[in-house]
């Protein structure tokens, strides 16, 4: 799978996850709710892809934080 296809797939999984959260704290939303939403949006998702999506979200947030800090320095 190309990196572009992978990112598109992770974005679909992330979008389903965020829709299931509906602005709520992730700690308060049962796994069964967001898992069902993701499986509905991406039926053939694997456990590895779910793990990758959460890792990818963390890396994306870290990158945005670094960019923000760099902008503040200027």
pLDDT in tens, 27-67: 999 999 999 999 999 999 998 988 889 898 889 889 999 99
Residue for token pair 């992730």 = 26
Q: Are 53 and 13 in contact (CB under 8 A)?
A: yes
- By residue range, what is the domain housing residue 19? 3-73
Residues 6+ apart with CB under 8 A from 20: 29, 33, 34, 36, 37, 38
Dihedral angle at the C-alpha atoms of 15, 49, 62, 16, nearest 10 degrees?
10
Prediction pTM value: 0.76
Task: Estimate the share of the chain in helix, then strand, then coil, as percent rounded to the nearest 5.
Answer: 80, 0, 20
- The number of folded domains in the chain is 1
């Amino acid at each position: 799978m190309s990196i572009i296809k992978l990112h598109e797939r992770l974005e679909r999984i992330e979008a389903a996850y965020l829709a299931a959260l509906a602005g709520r704290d992730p700690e308060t939303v049962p796994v069964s709710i967001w898992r069902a939403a993701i499986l509905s949006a991406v039926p053939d998702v694997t456990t590895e892809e779910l793990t990758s999506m959460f890792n990818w979200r963390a890396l994306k947030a870290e990158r945005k934080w670094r960019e923000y800090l760099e902008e503040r320095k200027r």
